[in-house]
Amino acid sequence: MFWTRLVSGAVLLAIALVTMSLGDIALALTLFAISVIAFRELTKAMKCAGGEKNCSLLELVGFVGIAAYYPACYFAAAGTDLSVLLAVILAVFLAELFVYVLTFPKFQAEQVVGVFFSFVYAPVMLAFVYLTRELPHGIYLVWLILISSWGCDTCAYVVGMLIGKKKIFPVLSPKKSLEGCFGGVLGAALLGGLYGYFFIQPRFPDRQVVWIIALICGVGAVMSMVGDLAASAVKRNHNIKDYGKLIPGHGGIMDRFDSMIVTAPMVYFLAVFLLQAG
């Protein structure tokens, strides 16, 4: 299992390196594919899907919404107006309500909420990886998402294994320790600061941005743990072990990208507010 997980992780990292470096259409299409799979994993986990092989009308609206949202991201990234993204999100919500009303009583209110939650949770939030990449200096800033999420995961695991004693979430995540959580946040902040010093600071010669990068990664690390725990909570609520079997040794897309999904929008907005202002 260890070697299977290691090889799968290396493949995922290679895909991330290539697509994030290329950006543009390559990254958008990759994120689109990941979002479609993650959306389906969530709707199945939350028991609001049409079935193992069938797609409900509510899900169909979600899939159409994803197909509309990523082109909207592409055009929004070319400018600075993100209102078109909000328009797509609201359109998906209203379309879900139309389906709910016109087919009543076929669907329960919980299914409508679950499908819309799945749409926002994975596709919408994951798209911020692309939006971050398309920012000025985005080719450097986008890596803060991986440092905050996967860097935090690694540091938290190492510190937890070495000195972790106090269990902070014994019911939700028995293996997580308070020491590991602190180690993950501090480790991500340190990695971010080093990355910022060598790769981002030279792009801002008139400003000191190392501490800003460290802060972004530290806050992003906190959010990555929230994302990890939230995804685990959904699984425990619905008594499932993994979201899927797509990635050997890891599970489904949601099992591997759960922390990154929540970290991406946080890094995007912090980067805009702290680096782009002034």
Give pLDDT, residue 148.
94
The rounded radius of gyration (Å) of the Cα atoms in the chain is 19
Q: Rounded to 5 degrees, what are φ and ψ at 251?
A: 115, -130
> Does residue 4 or residue 154 have the better pLDDT?
154
What secondary structure does DSSP assign to 79-129, as a single string?
Answer: SS--HHHHHHHHHHHHHHHHHHHHTTTSS-HHHHHHHHHHHIIIIIHHTHH
Residue given tokens 């609520």 in the structure block: 237
Q: Give Cα 97 distance to the centre of its chain.
A: 26
Tokens (6 digits) for 202: 């030279």
Q: Which amino acid is at 8?
A: S
Q: Rounded to 5 degrees, what are φ and ψ at 151?
A: -65, -45
Instruction: Give SS3 for 74.
Output: helix
Give pLDDT, residue 30.
94
- CA distance readout (Å), 19 to 31, 146, 156: 9, 13, 26
Q: Which amino acid is at 66?
A: I
User: Residue 7: which H helix or E strand, with range?
Assistant: helix 2-22
Residue 172: pLDDT band by 50, 70, 90 thresholds? confident
**In this predicted model, what pLDDT tens digit does every residue of 238-254 receive, in sequence order?**
888 888 777 766 678 89
Instruction: Give SS3 for 145.
Output: helix
CA distance 153 to 228: 9
pTM score, two decimals? 0.92
DSSP letter for 203, please: G
Instruction: Give SS3 for 185.
Output: helix
CA distance 154 to 146: 11
Four-CA torsion 152, 154, 160, 163, nearest 10 degrees: -100
Stretch among 28-37, 124-133, 183-192, 248-257 having the lowest mean pLDDT = 248-257
CA distance 270 to 196: 14
CA distance 220 to 150: 11
What percentage of residues in the chain have a pLDDT greater than 90?
54
Give pLDDT, residue 278.
46
Give pLDDT, residue 51.
67
Nearest Cα neighbor of 72 from 48, 97, 91 is: 91
CB distance 97 to 228 below 8 Å: no
Give pLDDT, residue 167.
86
